[in-house]
A = this chain, B = another copy of it.
Amino acid sequence: MLPPPRGRKHLDHYLHPLDRLAHKLDIHHSLSVAEKAAIRDLPHIVRWREAQSYTLREGDRPDRCAILLSGYAFRHKLTGDGERQILSLHIPGDALDFQNMFLEESDHNVQMLTRGQVAEIPREPLEELAMNNAAVGRAIMIHTLVKAAIFREWVVNVGRRDARTRIAHLLCEFAYRLTTFGQTPTGSFELPITQEQLADATGLTAVHVNRVLKGLEADGLIDRTRRIVSFPDWRMLRDVGDFNSRYLHAPELET
């Protein structure tokens, strides 16, 4: 699930871009072939985005919704002191801002974590489809509600868990979502994120994140190569991270 190296052909090349979205919505609320086709037929533009580039900024009033097709993105907000809190991590197939269909002004930022592709759908036709096609509308509502459930779990994570548990939980969530919704084969997972970003996602400092990661590694819970993390023992990490997947409202994982 790493972003494609520049210039190399990516698997996605063989899929229609919006199939990613249709597939993800379909997992929570199954859609007919016609409904999936209606999604695929939405007008859209596919763009490559560089790492760190902004998809959305606080205060913007965008007239389109972005769907992440490849690579990773994250959502964040800044405090008055300029401190950053990362609010969510996004994987291919995620809608980065369905919110824009209904709220005027964005209250947060969305930024690419890695290089990747984004499909931009104009607000109007997407909204029309959502309102006129009951199943699609329902699927979008469900997607939104699951995102809200994830925000709630993040409040718990940051508010009531210690550093080690917090980081383990974040890693578990990411792995779980990748396995359930992504094209990733089961087994090992990777996350190209800096320790500073990890700190901003967990409400810690980069220095402390570093120490916790080393601790998890020393205990055999994670393996690290550069900015990439993999998990040799899912079940153990899940226990350490106090991770229960109920809030993701997704099909159970085997493992």
User: Please, which residues of chain B bring their CB within 8 A of the CB of A77?
Assistant: 152-153, 156
User: Please, which residues of chain B bring their CB within 8 A of the CB of A80?
Assistant: 242, 244
Q: Does A203 contact B (CB under 8 A)?
A: yes
Q: Which of A77, A105, A151, A154 has the most CB atoms of chain B within a 10 A radius of its CB?
A: A151
**Separation of A233 and B247 alpha carbons in the complex (Å):** 39
Q: Does A252 contact B (CB under 8 A)?
A: no
The answer to whether A102 and B141 have CB atoms under 8 Å apart is yes
The answer to whether B103 and A249 have CB atoms under 8 Å apart is yes
Q: Does A164 contact B (CB under 8 A)?
A: no
Q: What is the minimal beta-carbon distance from A5 to any residue of chain B, in angstroms?
A: 33
Q: Does A144 contact B (CB under 8 A)?
A: yes
The answer to whether A159 and B202 have CB atoms under 8 Å apart is yes
Within 8 A of B (CB), among A58-82: 58-59, 75, 77, 79-81
24 contacts between A and B (CB under 8 A): A59-B246, A75-B152, A79-B156, A79-B160, A79-B161, A79-B242, A81-B242, A85-B156, A85-B159, A87-B155, A99-B149, A102-B141, A102-B142, A103-B146, A107-B249, A108-B152, A108-B247, A131-B134, A141-B144, A148-B148, A154-B155, A159-B202, A159-B203, A160-B200
> B-facing mask of A198-212, CB < 8 A → 1, else 0?
001011000000000
Q: Does A193 contact B (CB under 8 A)?
A: no
